[in-house]
Amino acid sequence: MRLENVAFRYRRRDPWVLRDVSLSLPPGRVTEVTGQNGAGKSTLLRLVAGLRSPREGLIRGRPTRVGYAPERFPVDQPFTVNSYLTHMAAIRGIPTGGVRTWAERLGFEHLLDVRLPELSKGSAQKVGLAQALFGEPELLILDEPFAGLDAATREALPTLIAGFAADGTTIVVSDHQRCIEALPDVDRLRVANAAVTRLDAEEDQTPRPVEWTVLEVVVREDEADTVETKLRADGYDVRRPER
């Protein structure tokens, strides 16, 4: 899909949140949207999802099946998790059996009979994610999906997202926590001063923390000295067992 010279502000006299935004979001690609608080990331995602319409410009080629997980899932609804998700599936014409599958994948199957207002923040986030993910969306928009998630789900989500991308889904994610960077091939956009710019990997100067791990390598005894010398020359820390 494409955005062509899109401009948006919430009210007529408000300042523009986005101006003259042109970009394409190809199928099978994951696009990460970055920017400071209040820059307009959620607004851009709402425009892409079709929840808001541009004041100026055009959005072309939006796929029919759209999955959207908002930054904050609206829990003030008098339903249980199961009845909410079953209802959401039914109005989208999706087999309701998928509800339990997604509840299990995201680890909240024990909460299916809990009412939405009683959910913790992270569990509510998972329900919001589930309703976006089921139904094989062709366009998947996730607004800060990692916020409030437990470690297991945070680690599992990039793989789930990559699976959708491999199936050709267009994916747009805003991600303050930079969890999506675990994926090898992500397009990056920055929202600032009402403009959206594409970041090339080299342009992105944000320092990333280096994480170290221990790797045990087994080599032939008569090659051990050579390998050790090579690894040290490459800047690695080498420890050999006592003989």
Ligand X SMILES: Nc1ncnc2c1ncn2[C@@H]1O[C@H](COP(=O)(O)OP(=O)(O)OP(=O)(O)O)[C@@H](O)[C@H]1O
Contacts of 101 (CB under 8 A, 6+ apart): 134
Rounded to a whole number of angstroms, the minimum distance from the CB of residue 127 to ligand X is: 20
Question: With respect to ligand X, which residue has the nearer C-beta, 42 or 169?
Answer: 42
Rounded to a whole number of angstroms, the minimum distance from the CB of residue 52 to ligand X is: 9
Rounded to a whole number of angstroms, the minimum distance from the CB of residue 41 to ligand X is: 4
Question: With respect to ligand X, which residue has the nearer C-beta, 42 or 125?
Answer: 42
Question: With respect to ligand X, which residue has the nearer C-beta, 37 or 213?
Answer: 37
Q: Is the distance from CB of 8 to CB of 20 less than 8 angstroms?
A: no
Rounded to a whole number of angstroms, the minimum distance from the CB of residue 231 to ligand X is: 42
* Strands ordered across the beta sheet of 18-24: 18-24, 2-8, 56-60
Phi/psi region, residue 159 (left: phi>0; alpha: psi -120 to 50; beta: rest), is: alpha
Q: Is the distance from CB of 34 to CB of 41 less than 8 angstroms?
A: yes
Binding positions for ligand X, rule: CB under 6 A: 10, 17, 35, 37-43, 71
Rounded to a whole number of angstroms, the minimum distance from the CB of residue 174 to ligand X is: 6
Question: With respect to ligand X, which residue has the nearer C-beta, 42 or 170?
Answer: 42
End-to-end CA distance of the chain: give it in Å, rounded: 63
> Of 223, 217, 222, which is closest to residue 239 (Cα–Cα)?
217
Question: With respect to ligand X, which residue has the nearer C-beta, 72 or 115?
Answer: 72
> Of 63, 79, 142, which is closest to residue 106 (Cα–Cα)?
142
C-alpha atoms less than 13 angstroms from C-alpha of 199 in its C-beta half-sphere: 19
Rounded to a whole number of angstroms, the minimum distance from the CB of residue 238 to ligand X is: 43
Phi, psi of 241 (to 5 degrees): -65, 150
Q: Which residues are bridge partners to 170 per DSSP? A: 139
Question: With respect to ligand X, which residue has the nearer C-beta, 111 or 129?
Answer: 129
